[in-house]
Structures are given as structure tokens and as C-alpha cells.
Amino acid sequence: MSDKLRYDGKVAVVSGAGNGLGKTYALLLASRGAKVVVNDLGGSTHGEGADTKAADAVVEEIKKAGGEATANYDSVEHGDKIIKTALDAYGRVDIVINNAGILRDVAFHKMTQKDWDLIYTVHMVGTYSLCKAAWETMRKQKYGRIINVASAAGLYGNFGQANYSAMKLGILGLTKTLAREGASKNIKVNCIAPLAGSRMTATVMPEEMLEALRPEFVAPVVAYLAHEQCEDSGQILELGAGWIAALRWQRAKGGFLPFGDSSPEAVAGVWDAVMNFDDEPEYPETTQDSFPPVMGNLERYKEAASKL
Ligand code: NAI
């Protein structure tokens, strides 16, 4: 068993920490020495209303257990105000967990502009805004740990969640780029796609599953990613109920159009190869990994042209 991971001297900002998963992240980090900014707007799962009670209750719980915490009630798109709370109270920010979230599930043909805009604001703008507000401080400190929250709905698509899935996959793109930009300053940025019982999943999960999928299974993974011991960055992990796994892209070897024929029929002719993941698939990790087949084929075309 390794030594207990501690967060003494570290300041963590957890958005949406008044309920569900975020609350367990805040409690766990605080119990191991972190000073925590408990952010929560205190609205409904659909993004309506506001209340200070949710954040206050978690701060209270942390303090009762002997920890340090400060409440913040701003909506996450005001990341600068939330980070200011951390800097004013504790003078630094080491960990940002972009957890706040709402749902506006509805089939795409019935989705309103408001359904789209609210999900965009809370998930995409919220995550951007907190990262942006903490970024300069983390760069100066040469230290930062950011954990963003995606979802299986974003990774795979899910009926009734066009708005939510678009933002959740957008958050993964943001994660991967920030991981690259933060690398030289020891800022690690990772992403999770959790599954847990909460008020958010209460509408779609049966009671016994809600109880079994405890958020406490997810919290230690987030805490590990938030620790200085974690060296990985730019990763996406799927997790729940004590299972944790990294996910990556897989690309088929692909098909090449015959030189001189770029017709739709030629595409149909190579389609089996385009869709074949069994024969020498690749696992690109960077844009540099992504380009070689395109460039290689240009060379093949050039060679073929020179023989004409
Ligand atoms: P939850 O509804 O229990 O907690 C979300 C918290 O975020 C609430 O306390 C809410 O008041 C707060 N919040 C909402 N909008 C906010 C805003 N604009 N500013 C500040 N706080 C705000 O939900 P849960 O399940 O704990 O979800 C946490 C995160 O995990 C979300 O990002 C969600 O999309 C994501 N997630 C959860 C899954 C699950 O199985 N529970 C599955 C996949 C992703």
C-alpha cells in the first residue's frame, strides 16, 4: 500500500460542489489537507434558480470535520469571480475541478435555443472560464492540476442529449489542447466520464442502481488526478463503481483512392478498407500522428504522376 496521498498547502476549486459528485470531491480533498473553494449556484438540475444553501452546507460539513473551506455562489461562466474567491481567501489555486453541470434533455427536433444555450453556458463556457481564470496563476506557480468532466453521452452520443453531448466532447478537446499548452509549466489537465447516482441521474436510473453507483467510487480517481504524484495529462478516463479505464482513439488503416480516380464510385470501391478496424489499426495521439497517411498518399500520387 502506498503512502497516503495528501494535499496540504494546496488550494482546490470545485465547481458545483454543493451536491452529488462535486460534493464528494470537495469533502475528500478537504479531509486530506486541501483548502477548498466550494462553488455552487444552487439551482435546479435544469439550470433554474439559485440558492446559497448547497455550497454553505458543504463548507459547514468540511469545517465540522476540521477542514478549511470557503463558499462561492457564482455561476461557472464567471470563472474569474470564483478564482478570485480562492486567491482572496488562500492566495493561490492549485487544483480546479470543472464539475458543475445541468441537463436539458430533449429530442433534437424539440430542442429550443434556450435548451442549447444553457447547456453551452454551464458546461462549455463554464469549463473554459474557470480554466482561463486559473491558467495564469498556475503558469506562474509552475503547478496546476485541472480535472474536467465529460460524459459517455459526449463520447458516444445519446438520444435526447444533442446539446449535452456536444459540450461534453468539446470539453475533451479543450482538455487535450490545454494538456499540451500546460506541459512546460507542470500543469496537468485530464478529463473524466463518470457514472454515478446523483440527483442528475435520478430521473434515468432505478433506485437500487442509484444507490449502488455511489459518487464515492468516483471521488478517489479525481483526487488521484488532482495530486502532484499523477504525471499523466490529456487523458480521458471512463469510470464508475470502482472500475477505471483510459480511452483512446483507434483509426482504421484506411483505404486509398486509386491514382487518377477521385469519383464517388472509387470511394465505394475502398469503403471496406475505410471501415476495417481489424487489419493493422493505428492509435494516433497527436495531430502529427494524424497526418502521415495523407502526406504519404500525396507522395504516392506524385510518384505515379511522374511516371505518366
Ligand atoms: P448534480 O446535479 O448532483 O450536481 C451538479 C451540481 O452543479 C449541483 O450542485 C448544481 O447546483 C451545480 N451547478 C449547476 N449549474 C451550475 C452553475 N451554473 N454554476 C455553479 N454550479 C452549478 O450532478 P452530478 O451527477 O453530481 O454531476 C456532476 C458532473 O458530472 C456534471 O458535469 C455532469 O454532467 C457530470 N456527469 C455526471 C454523470 C453521473 O452519472 N452522475 C455522468 C456523466 C457526467
For 138-158, b/e burial (b = at least 16 CB within 10 A) is: bbeeebbbbbbbbbbbbbeee
* Cα angle 254-259-260, degrees, rounded to a multiple of 5: 130
Predicted local confidence at residue 2, as pLDDT: 62
- Please give the C-alpha separations between residue 220 and each of 21, 45, 144, in angstroms, as whole numbers: 11, 24, 18
d(CA 70, CA 36): 6
Blockwise average pLDDT, block size 10, the chain, 308 residues: 88 98 98 98 96 98 98 98 98 98 98 98 98 98 98 98 98 98 98 96 90 95 98 98 97 94 96 98 94 89 88
What is the CB < 6 Å shell around ligand 1? 15-16, 18-22, 39-43, 45, 47, 54, 75-76, 99-102, 122, 126, 149, 151, 194-196, 198-201
Predicted local confidence at residue 3, as pLDDT: 85
Which alpha helices (DSSP H) does the chain contain, by range? 20-31, 53-64, 79-90, 113-119, 126-141, 152-156, 162-182, 207-212, 219-225, 264-274, 287-290, 292-306
How is the chain split into domains, by residue range? 11-247, 264-306
Q: Which atom of ligand 1 has the smallest separation from the CA of 152?
A: 43
What grid cell was written down for 157? 452520443
Cα 285 to averaged position of ligand 1 atoms, centre (Å): 29
Residues in the chain: 308
Assembly ipTM: 0.99
Q: How crowded is residue 31: how many other Cβ atoms within 10 Å of its Cβ?
A: 16
The burial of 5, by beta-carbon neighbours within 10 Å (0-12 exposed, 13-18 middle, 19 or more buried), is given as middle
d(CA 40, CA 76): 8
d(CA 279, CA 78): 48
Q: Which atom of ligand 1 has the smallest separation from the CA of 126?
A: 18
Return the H-helix or E-strand segment holding 192.
Answer: strand 187-194
Residue to mutate, 14, 21, 23, ligand 1, most ligand atoms under 8 Å from C-beta? 21
* Cα angle 141-142-144, degrees, rounded to a multiple of 5: 85
- Asked if 16 contacts 103 with a C-beta cutoff of 8 angstroms, the reply is no
Rounded to two decimals, the pTM is: 0.97
Predicted local confidence at residue 67, as pLDDT: 98
Torsional sign, CA 96, 22, 58, 44: positive
Residue to mutate, 14, 19, 27, ligand 1, most ligand atoms under 8 Å from C-beta? 19
Predicted local confidence at residue 19, as pLDDT: 97
Cα 99 to averaged position of ligand 1 atoms, centre (Å): 6
Contacts of residues 240-246 at CB distance under 8 Å and 24 or more positions apart, as own/partner, are 240/194, 240/195, 240/196, 240/213, 241/195, 241/212, 241/213, 241/214, 241/217, 242/217
Predicted local confidence at residue 1, as pLDDT: 54
Angle, helices 126-141 vs 162-182, to 10°: value is 10
CATH architecture entry for 11-247: 3-Layer(aba) Sandwich (3.40)
Residues labelled as active-site residues = 164
Predicted local confidence at residue 297, as pLDDT: 87
Helix (H, G, I), strand (E, B) or coil at 231: coil
Name beta bridge partners: 251: 282
